[in-house]
Structure 1
């Protein structure tokens, strides 16, 4: 695994920038996935808060020892430091399509968006950055979103968020270079007295967007080092997983297997395509969630997909097309069927592929989830944090998105 700090940042074209003179407060900070990007963009994070101790411990280990474990409802603004920018993605479960859907009526977390607004209103930072799931602008929750936006406007902020046909819309992080199909709603507010307006950064050209292979292709088989460990296949998936091709899902099973695997879900419409879903290495990942072992949101690695599926040219088979990790690559050509092989297993000859012993299918490891979230390799979870909690805290604003939004905001505020 690449441990070099510069390499892990340059993979996503992130550079450690000089201090930009702006301080940041990070609410609902999680483990620091987004903060990693803000830190690289030159912000000085001076205060952070989350309700989960294991998240705070990880944040302090990686970002800086200034996060506290507390309930945001109990925070007294007078006791908080002044910060130029406040960031926060309040819990999304009340608004998520996979959550309970109760929105602001959710008794456990539905009011947390208002507490984010309360602190913004009372602390009056120069700017704020807010993030949440796509469901917050769905028909069911749009009224809440617009009400919250109006509160920010009344509090003296020029509020910016992407729109389509004058309606709020989500950004797909893949459009910005993240190797993941992750649609999220981003809002940036700038205090009106500064007379500045935020414009979202441009998207990345299609040919420059990244894939799963770009993110994790250099990682060895899971070895437990630097959080490179994870879940295998669920017991209920084992009888069926080898019947699904790379890029497929439960719909590729014989009908009798579909019924057996899905149970009642089959008769209620068949279930989503996330069941028994196998990813393709040359496509972006699906959204990295906090429950990566879920049955209906599977992202299964089939190691056969490390090799091109779809046939090889006679010229390809005429010679060994694999270079080792310590060697320069063969020429990268435009036709996938003539591309060099992945360096694992070593010294492999394509002519004997049918005799290859390939590791069994599995889910992404924690390190792979972090890579797909564009988190630099210097970020890690402590060994005392359970695997389930490590997966849970891989979720958040992708570091690259935080970096790009933070960079754009800093240029505007400092102009």
Structure 2
């Protein structure tokens, strides 16, 4: 086998980790019983690949090679630790499978068990997100730290504590039983949604869109749809992410400025992603178990199906938000419902409705941005400017702040020329 250049080796290793890390780690954890040990053994295999692939070339089956070597490293680690007697069955299975050639090595898909472990209720939500990105998304610790705007050492410590807690608390590497499944599945989907939401509507930073996090969420949603193809809310989440992310290229103009949905160039929308999302949504709807993610996906699909902003079916969107508010009675959903309904009943009625949310949303930037837009639609430039000032003060995203400042300037110009 010919040797490989360092760049080729690094690309091959990075590709294997990006596409197969979750499957490799899950297979190792299933045998070893601990995520901590499985991660160490996989890391040993990665270091071996970086050394050996340069000399002997990249193998035909990189994933099989990594798993075979990781299993051998596991046997060595268990024996050196003096715990071989407690792992006798696992060692026997590992030795048998490690002896097989990597080309013939079958890798069991245990990723569903792994993601339920990462999203266990005993772990806080931020830790679950980080652990999911690391174990199943294939992100490095430094990449996850950047996603959270944390320092790499701090994130490394968080991940290490999480792995230790999984072992110490006896969190099982298992799929929940039927009784616990709805709550546990919801926790998994919420973690993926949080990743997507922070990517699509970043809460701070230079840009409102974080493509890296959106891509991770889409990857994880597709994985869950592959593993749970007949779970309606899994399909609903995939649909929501695919249709929403289809608009990524239209959300910024050539200067990098934020462009709101109703002003976007719809020719830039990714029709392949929209089709993928709508296929998933149609499948979910045939299962006849409506849930929040399906309703949000249906709203996104109605926007996607409108050829122009003027052709948006606001009455149907408002009806869907009304149903969503029954299932998820939060102030954020009520805000979105009011804004959607304003395109049916008018901005004056919507402003009155927004007053009912004032105490709950006083520090919520989109609330003030919505009020500003509604005041602008009524022609009340003075109140619009005041509301824009509040929204600008609460914004921590540079591109969003610039957009709000431009909207405020337009209202000021209207006052000067009135």
TM bin (shorter chain): under 0.3
More strand by share: 1
Question: Whose helix fraction is larger, Structure 1's or Structure 2's?
Answer: 2
Larger RCO (alpha carbons 8 Å, 6+ apart)? 1
- TM-score, normalised on structure 2? 0.26
TM-score, length-scaled by structure 1: 0.26
Q: Which has the larger radius of gyration?
A: 2
